[in-house]
Amino acid sequence: MQYRPNARGRMLHLFGLLILGMVISGSANTGTQQGVEIGIEEHLGDYVPLDLQFVDEEGDTVVLGELMELPTVLNLVYYSCPGLCSPLLDGVVEVLDKLDLQPGQDYQVLTVSFNPRESAALAREKKRNYFAAFRQRPDYPPGAWRWLVGDSLNIARLTQAVGFRYQKSGEGYLHSAAVMVLGSDGKISRYLYGITFLPFDLKMAIIEASEGRVGPTISRLLQLCFNYDPEGRRYVFNFLRVAGVLILLFAFLFVVSISLKKKLGS
């Protein structure tokens, strides 16, 4: 006998599809403002190209594969950024200062500018300024945190590999804030979002990367609730999206409860 859903069944199915659609739509559109894609498209388990070439803060040309001998905390910024990049780097310094792993032994950090016009001299200046912010680790090894610049081709290949989407705007860029944790083989293991990070979260991400494991991004759910505001250069609560999901959820639960009551009463 072929199953034919009744009216209540069809309504439940419809509400379920609507809620699923809202969630998927919210996830797909995270970081999108006025038709311009800005944000992160996660590529967990993929690999960054190890043949990419950059210039470090000392002006030396380096190959990414030769640098990545350890699990790597990658952050993409541009050094002249007036907005998110400085708070992001402040957050990186803060978490590295508290992290109970050994830099240069257990992990390393790579900061890469996605502005092809920036120079190694500017990278060196930024490194000096942020290293001065260490408090608990004033002797943080310089070789454990490299600051890179590059040309547009190598930058594009790296940002595309990790799913970092940004948009040119005047003299600057619109972009989001996140760090990526990679294995020594270039495998993308974890994304950590925002400008502040918990030492435990980063430690676990580094350990997972060292073992070749890929970790889920719990904060991905938060991106359904917040949008990046390019003008204000901050994340804002998306009330309409959250309210819409909650309304559909309550409607779905209401229909389910009514259906169950009628079924139990019959």
Residues 113 and 182 grouped into a single domain = yes
pLDDT(265) > 60: yes
Give the mean pLDDT of the chain.
82
Do residues 204 and 148 touch, judged by C-beta distance below 8 A?
A: no
Domain range enclosing 192: 36-217
Q: How far apart are CA 180 and CA 188, in angstroms?
A: 7
How many other C-beta atoms lie within 10 A of the C-beta of residue 47? 13
Do the domain assignments include residue 224? no
- Rounded to 5 degrees, φ, ψ at 120 are -65, -30
Same domain, yes or no, for 122 and 16? no
If asked whether residues 99 and 117 sit together in one domain, one would say yes
What is the spatial distance between Cα 123 and Cα 120, in angstroms, rounded to a whole number? 5
CA gyration radius, the chain: 22
DSSP 41-101: ---TT-B--TT-EEEETTS-EEEHHHH-SS-EEEEEE-TT-SSTHHHHHHHHHHHHHH--S
Q: Are residues 203 and 251 in the same domain?
A: no
User: Alpha-carbon distance 164 to 91, whole Å?
Assistant: 19
Whole-number Å distance between alpha carbons of 50 and 99: 27
Q: How many domains does the chain have?
A: 2
Could you tell me if residue 118 is inside a domain? yes
Each residue's pLDDT tens digit, 39-62 = 899 999 999 999 999 999 999 999
Query: Does 22 fall in a domain?
Result: yes
Q: Quick one: 24 and 99 in the same domain?
A: no
Q: What is the pTM of this model?
A: 0.70
In this structure, the answer to whether residues 24 and 46 fall within a common structural domain is: no
Q: How far is C-alpha 105 from the chain's CA centre?
A: 24
- Residue 242 has what pLDDT? 67
Q: What confidence tier does 261 reach under pLDDT thresholds 50, 70, 90?
A: confident
Whether residues 103 and 159 share a domain: the answer is: yes
Nearest to 150 by CA among 141, 161, 138, 159: 159
Residues 102 and 200 in one domain: yes
Specify the amino acid at residue 225. Answer: C
Residue 23 banded pLDDT, cuts 50, 70, 90: very low
Least confident of 105-114, 148-157, 198-207, 237-246: 237-246
